[in-house]
Structure 1
């Protein structure tokens, strides 16, 4: 009889567990952490060892006092510290790295895993892809209840994560004890005055819009810093002079950088200085959301890049020629969406066999993607069609077998979406289309793995197009934003069988929506915004028992009144657990 099925063993574990549970003080996080630790202990001896350690950690936690982790939780600190001490070394590094992010910050997992890789925390001795190893580390931290999940993506993978307040306190304490990171916080007066205990290799700077400038203090020396992360408040109006000083400072003082996150900054009327090419150790550079006019050609010197994110705002001129051709270690490259110079193709290092992400590459025809077929590790591709995307092309034998995510944008040139590119990617699960849809081929149904579809500025969808969409076999998320649906939209019985999330925004011609019984049987979330022609929500919603959340925003008052308790449409949504109606528009002629 196995130990887990032995009644005596079960009773012994139960008794030990109940005794340990008493010291969690009813705190859900502590109970969850304890459960996560015990889930990895199989034998009674291991449970006994945990039991003994628990009391040791209780004494330590009690002795530390309320300043350690918060008043009233002194006796729980032992459990949080025990969970940290049980981490293998590489996971301790990954966990401590989270101390750099501000409180209540939703951390994008895609960025976090790339940062871990650039820092050298992640290694892959086998054939397993480093990105997968990095994501597995996050999953393990989640499984140990050290990190909490924020949002999940369309493929059910974790999209954002964060730390519980108590766990963040522990993370900050351990990071400070080990001199792992130094934080300069300009949003509080005392933050900027704090100095590290010794040579710190990671620096996180929280900027505030009131800060006049940033530069080294007289006694500060950050020449040994390897990682520099800037955090700017959302919708910040930092003066461009401030960010110019920041740029000068980081290029002059931080020459050993491996990681630089410089997002949401304004370097208007200027370019990234040529000196950026001196940061030859850079593995990760992100200027996403910044206003940068020109990227200098000296960026070609940065041959250690793993991740390069140039998704700046407005127009950005990027160097011509084979500026990326020497970046053999490149894995992820995000180009500016609005480029001042449009080359037919951008050349990448043919040795960059690990290239997985290429976003915002300008092409004229699908033949411009011939070279990309050689990139057998490519997972995500974003193309922008210009000058000739509508021209008829000869058939192609190109197949992107490994591609998981595809984005096609033809809106800038008002060209129809070229379906020959889409249909060369049979295994994608995520498809983003921005531009006019002249047709919706039935061959789209061959995309059997497609779970998320986004349509933006798509022009006029016809009834036949809707019939194709609702037959997609695996579709779980559908976003329709700024376009024209049929005036009378019909979701047929059995249509959208696995759809869980539906977003309808700025659909100007939509007036009537019918949902037949048996349509959208899996729908959980429905969001409708600025569909001013829509007279009422469909009767069929009352039959969708899975619907948990309904959000209505930017809609006419009379539409909203019908949904209120006692309104003529209330019966359609009375079973929905959460109904949010917000940003009601004033009355105006339709």
Structure 2
């Protein structure tokens, strides 16, 4: 019975108090055979103890499966678009994301959810993911349906097709499977939130296009597609009719092309286009018409009509912009995004674009705004003096949090000329002639460092006693000239993850500190294929 408590101190304590009152063998046997009822009773007790402001956050988690990792940022957006986050509960200077994480921290303290800390955050985010504590999901879903908050239809199950009525929940989750459900028109026109999920390894499927006529969902505010293969299951008709849509996500889906009719979504505030990696999606150049947009997540790979760059300069309400590629978007447009708080951008072999991004970051730094930048520079060799000057300006921008630089640098700026807020750094083919460690070890926030493919051309590295106070992850890969690394005993005090590979002249056994960490990793998981991409 203790095993059913899943290690939760509160549930174990409740069980102990409950068992202490039992006086007969018959009562013991009854409790033993009704463990699930006991768990439900405990969950109900915990829920009743939740403050009023936490209850909507908890029951909204019923949209997700028990073992599913939930992105707190996504949860925040959904709660906002549904009007379930109130500024009346915020403290001074607290953003909606801060409030969501505070709620999750309280729920974790009460044993309702588990949170996964962000080890080396590129932003102010505290948590990488959250999920239900085992046993809580079943209670949450039943509570959602009992309160008419949410209806879940699992088309993988035989008994999935329960009756839907117009006076039922305004939120609907459908897990696709081999069965089909017919949603009456009078129900469709009352649904405000629709989440359609395709789980992995589902081979027998009924296309959502055969069940959902989106023309009928006239008041829909939230539409969340998760893992849907639109190449296989066909696109849904009527999506352009959803004129009141606030939230639209195709994250993890396979999608060939967006219709130009998305320009009609004039109320859209969150748009997630991060389709399944490796798939190319064609985007019409109409995103600039979505003037209320606050959070835009572009795909890693996409193409535009006629090869023209995406126009985004009219999105003046934008706070989040992810996968902004200057080869596919107009680099100068970021200068008009005065409310931007997080920028994730890529600049590829284009010095004017690099200069534009640097100018924007410098302006943001001087204005002391709360911008966080994660920048990927590819195939940009800084041989010329003009390039080096711009690079110096770029590195000094305090809004710079994460940097991948793939190209020639030659020499690093002094540590006091590099952003003290830099948390993650990758250098690739940088051909540094002098040991970078005396400079990099003084960066107070650096948590991840990757030097790869002759990023450093010297023979020796030295890490001093007080160096790298926040470093957790170190990668040294394909450094052909490196022969010695001298690491003082008190350097890198919290280093826990290290990989050294293809540094052929380096004797790892001569570095006791690193040798012990590497040996411990091999014993822990000898077959693990460690990805070089730790960003």
Report the TM-score, using the length of structure 1 for normalisation. 0.70
What's the CA shift for 1:287?
A: 0.9
What's the CA shift for 1:512?
A: 5.0
Matched, 1:438 2:409: yes
Which digits, 9 at most, give the CA deviation of each residue in 1:395-421, with x for residues without a partner?
94523433553232343xx33487367
Matched, 1:327 2:291: yes
Alpha carbons 1:483, 1:507 under 8 Å: kept: yes
Question: 2:521 is matched with which residue: 551, 562, 565?
Answer: 551
Question: 1:407 is matched with which residue: 368, 374, 378?
Answer: 374
What's the CA shift for 1:122?
A: 0.6
Sort the Cα spacing of 1:26 and 1:361 in 2 relative to 1 into closer, same or farther, 3 A. closer
Alpha carbons 1:439, 1:465 under 8 Å: kept: no
Which digits, 9 at most, give the CA deviation of each residue in 1:472-513, with x for residues without a partner?
222123355777555856242236422342153864748756
Give the equivalent residue in structure 1 for 2:493.
522
SS in 2 for 1:110: helix
What's the CA shift for 1:356?
A: 1.7
What's the CA shift for 1:121?
A: 0.5
Sort the Cα spacing of 1:81 and 1:488 in 2 relative to 1 into closer, same or farther, 3 A. farther
Alpha carbons 1:283, 1:304 under 8 Å: kept: yes
Matched, 1:582 2:512: no
Question: 1:172 is matched with which residue: 114, 120, 141?
Answer: 141
Which moved further from structure 2: 293-302 or 452-461? Answer: 452-461
Matched, 1:426 2:398: yes
Question: 2:302 is matched with which residue: 336, 339, 351?
Answer: 339
Sort the Cα spacing of 1:115 and 1:252 in 2 relative to 1 into closer, same or farther, 3 A. same
Which moved further from structure 2: 169-178 or 220-229? Answer: 220-229
CA distance in 1, matches of 2:416, 2:86: 39
Alignment length (residue pairs): 499
Give the equivalent residue in structure 1 for 2:324.
361
What's the CA shift for 1:138?
A: 1.9
Which digits, 9 at most, give the CA deviation of each residue in 1:142-198, with x for residues without a partner?
2322211124342471111111112223212312321322222244434x3344576
Superposed CA RMSD in Å reads 4.5
Give the equivalent residue in structure 1 for 2:463.
492
Give the equivalent residue in structure 1 for 2:346.
384
Which moved further from structure 2: 224-233 or 476-485? Answer: 476-485
Alpha carbons 2:313, 2:334 under 8 Å: kept: no
Alpha carbons 1:479, 1:504 under 8 Å: kept: yes
CA distance in 1, matches of 2:224, 2:32: 30
CA distance in 2, matches of 1:392, 1:104: 42
Sort the Cα spacing of 1:389 and 1:216 in 2 relative to 1 into closer, same or farther, 3 A. farther
Alpha carbons 1:96, 1:175 under 8 Å: kept: yes
Question: 1:318 is matched with which residue: 269, 283, 303?
Answer: 283
Which digits, 9 at most, give the CA deviation of each residue in 1:506-527, with x for residues without a partner?
6474875624223643234214
CA distance in 1, matches of 2:195, 2:87: 25
CA distance in 1, matches of 2:405, 2:465: 28
SS in 2 for 1:408: strand
Which digits, 9 at most, give the CA deviation of each residue in 1:432-469, with x for residues without a partner?
42633534631564455435314276565555444433
Question: 1:308 is matched with which residue: 249, 255, 271?
Answer: 271
Sort the Cα spacing of 1:268 and 1:481 in 2 relative to 1 into closer, same or farther, 3 A. farther
Question: 1:199 is matched with which residue: 159, 168, 175?
Answer: 168
Question: 1:124 is matched with which residue: 80, 87, 102?
Answer: 87
CA distance in 2, matches of 1:106, 1:67: 35
Alpha carbons 1:109, 1:161 under 8 Å: kept: yes
Which moved further from structure 2: 169-178 or 463-472? Answer: 463-472
CA distance in 1, matches of 2:285, 2:397: 29
SS in 2 for 1:551: helix
What's the CA shift for 1:544?
A: 9.8
Give the equivalent residue in structure 1 for 2:195.
229
Give the equivalent residue in structure 1 for 2:241.
278
Sort the Cα spacing of 1:388 and 1:517 in 2 relative to 1 into closer, same or farther, 3 A. closer
Sort the Cα spacing of 1:391 and 1:79 in 2 relative to 1 into closer, same or farther, 3 A. closer
Which moved further from structure 2: 154-163 or 536-545? Answer: 536-545
Sort the Cα spacing of 1:204 and 1:530 in 2 relative to 1 into closer, same or farther, 3 A. farther
SS in 1 for 2:87: coil
CA distance in 1, matches of 2:512, 2:311: 49
Matched, 1:260 2:229: no
Question: 2:100 is matched with which residue: 126, 131, 134?
Answer: 134
CA distance in 2, matches of 1:252, 1:69: 51
Sort the Cα spacing of 1:187 and 1:532 in 2 relative to 1 into closer, same or farther, 3 A. farther
Sort the Cα spacing of 1:415 and 1:263 in 2 relative to 1 into closer, same or farther, 3 A. farther
Superposed counterparts of 1:37-186, under 5 Å = 71-72=34-35, 74-75=37-38, 77-125=40-88, 128-155=94-121, 157-186=126-155
What's the CA shift for 1:95?
A: 0.3
Sort the Cα spacing of 1:30 and 1:495 in 2 relative to 1 into closer, same or farther, 3 A. closer
Alpha carbons 1:415, 1:435 under 8 Å: kept: yes
Give the equivalent residue in structure 2 for 1:51.
none
Which moved further from structure 2: 437-446 or 269-278? Answer: 269-278
Sort the Cα spacing of 1:509 and 1:25 in 2 relative to 1 into closer, same or farther, 3 A. closer
Sort the Cα spacing of 1:527 and 1:464 in 2 relative to 1 into closer, same or farther, 3 A. closer
Greater length-normalized contact order (CA 8 Å, ≥ 6 residues apart): 2
Question: 1:474 is matched with which residue: 420, 430, 445?
Answer: 445
CA distance in 2, matches of 1:494, 1:104: 43
